[in-house]
Amino acid sequence: MRDIDKIYIDGAFVTPHGGQRFDLYNPATEERIGSVRLGDAEDVRLAITAAKRAFPAMARTSKAERIAMLYRIRDAVKARADDLIAAMTEEYGAPTYFTGFSVQNTASIFEVMAASVEDYAFERIAGSSTVSMLPLGVIGAITPWNSNFGFIATKLAHAIGSGSTIVIKPAEQSAIQTQVLLECLHEAGLPKGVFNVVNGTGPEVGAALTAHPDVALITFTGSTPAAKIIQRSALETMKRFVLELGGKSPTIILDDADLDAAIPVALMSGFANSGQACVAGSRILVPRSRRDEILARLKRDAESFKVGIPTDPDVRIGPLANAAHWERVQSWIRLGQEEGASLMTGGEGRPEGLDRGWFARPTIFTEVTNSMRIAREEIFGPVLSVITYEDEAEAIAIANDSDFGLQAYVLSSDDGRALRMAQQLIAGRVVINGAPHDPRAPFGGFRQSGLGREIGAYGLDAFLEPRAILKPAA
């Protein structure tokens, strides 16, 4: 049992002013594994005060000092890799392949930021003026439960890289993971107040952060509906935003695709992180000329995807994160059938052999039209929609006919053709033929998938503001 009763303010673990408790569960067993004491608006105020006090010194740090801080955190994270993996497995239920990636990726986020700071031109010339790229002040960060340390790391790395300070409100469901990461961050020994973490709910702690006049920028990863509430709340004080939101990403299988390679990639893209991924390829676009063959393979391979306890190394799909989310995914599976889509595999309920845990069945709908809600809205579970197209032009039209634009996937045996397709897609990232994760590529989306970009110089640009100084000619 882990009872977490501290938050992190001004360089120390402190007891929150808020007294409410929130229970934590193991989603693979449904057992209660602990609780977290939640902060409140007063804790947010204290955290912002600490961050504000720490800002002037942080803003003056040199590139070398920021890089040193980033490497210290990277090392502290690496030293606790096993503990981070154990916490993510127990509290979130992610399969082994994903927990391993998550910790490695978290460490690499700090390395990538260090390299970006090294290369970034903080001082520039424009015309006859000098331009300084200045840090904004106190950053407010709000993160979701589907990749706890990765998102906290990204936001913290941008704050440090840009010379700002930060107050983070992580998802309260991930408090054990947050606690282990916080221990790493504390170990890194950064100056007091540079980062502060307040556990709490969105409507209380999140809302206090987004409304506070001393917060200059909100960096948020989560759902598009929550982002709209946050933007409204932050409007009054004209905050800057970096928003990384939902998706309904298309996976286009072209008619020349090598199906032995393409089908596993399409399914892994769709079922990534047990389907709880903003980048999940949840619409699979299939050419009519090869429809029957592709459907048969999708069905066969999806049914061989192992669903089960996250510690089994063969498992590809773990449980959904919590009971309410499991119910939500079930209702999407019902809705797909009501809308007239055909259930090719999966369906409601738990997979065979799993009688407890929030496991959903890997589900694929066919006969889906792009106007159905299951093709337009984010489900955030292992539920995929297959849409048939006639030719390339129609594939592009369907792919781009979405409120979102976060990621897209193209599968073809002709690299040139895949590239030409990619160049027509409206998405923050387009992945060709299962290309590996690139930790240096900008991340973020078009349309309602977000605002701004994270990572590298793109991320630093979003966290900085130019000040031009104009001088009379000498």
Binding site for ligand ADP (CB under 6 A): 142-145, 169, 171, 201-203, 206-207, 210, 222-223, 226, 229-230
Which residue, 46 or 142, has its beta carbon nearer to ligand ADP? 142
CB of 107 to ligand ADP, least distance (A): 23
For the question of residue 184 being annotated catalytic, the response is no
Contacts of 124 (CB under 8 A, 6+ apart): 130, 131, 132, 133, 466
Which residue, 305 or 326, has its beta carbon nearer to ligand ADP? 326
Q: Using CB atoms within 10 A of its CB, is residue 182 exposed (0-12), middle (13-18) or buried (19+)?
A: buried
How far is the C-alpha of 241 from the C-alpha of 373, rounded, in Å?
28
Which residue, 221 or 345, has its beta carbon nearer to ligand ADP? 221
Q: Is 436 left (phi over 0), alpha (psi -120 to 50) or beta?
A: beta
Cα angle 81, 43, 199; round to 5 = 35
Which residue, 106 or 178, has its beta carbon nearer to ligand ADP? 178
Which residue, 326 or 389, has its beta carbon nearer to ligand ADP? 326
CB of 436 to ligand ADP, least distance (A): 26
For the question of residue 91 being annotated catalytic, the response is no
Which residue, 72 or 376, has its beta carbon nearer to ligand ADP? 376
How distant, in Å, are the alpha carbons of 26, 83, 94, 192, 433 from that of 320? 10, 21, 9, 37, 27
In the numeric block, the tokens 């845990």 are attached to 357
Which residue, 23 or 292, has its beta carbon nearer to ligand ADP? 23
The SS3 of residue 465 is strand
- Among residues 278, 327, 394, 465, the one annotated as catalytic is 278
Structure tokens of 12?
């120390």
Sheet of 123-126: strand order equals 123-126, 129-135, 464-469
Q: For residue 240, what is the enclosing H or E element?
A: strand 240-244
Q: For residue 399, what is the enclosing H or E element?
A: helix 392-400
What's the per-residue H, E or C state across 299-314? HHHHHCCCECCCCCCC
How far is the C-alpha of 284 from the C-alpha of 271, rounded, in Å?
12
CB of 325 to ligand ADP, least distance (A): 7
Which residue, 22 or 120, has its beta carbon nearer to ligand ADP? 22
For strands 363-366 and 342-345, give the pairing. antiparallel
Contacts of 328 (CB under 8 A, 6+ apart): 380, 381
CB of 201 to ligand ADP, least distance (A): 6
- Among residues 90, 204, 244, 454, the one annotated as catalytic is 244
Contacts of 308 (CB under 8 A, 6+ apart): 315, 317, 318, 351, 354, 359
Q: How far, rounded to the nearest angstrom, does the alpha carbon of residue 158 sit from its chain's CA centroid?
A: 15
How far is the C-alpha of 456 from the C-alpha of 290, rounded, in Å?
40
Q: Which residue numbers are catalytic?
A: 244, 278
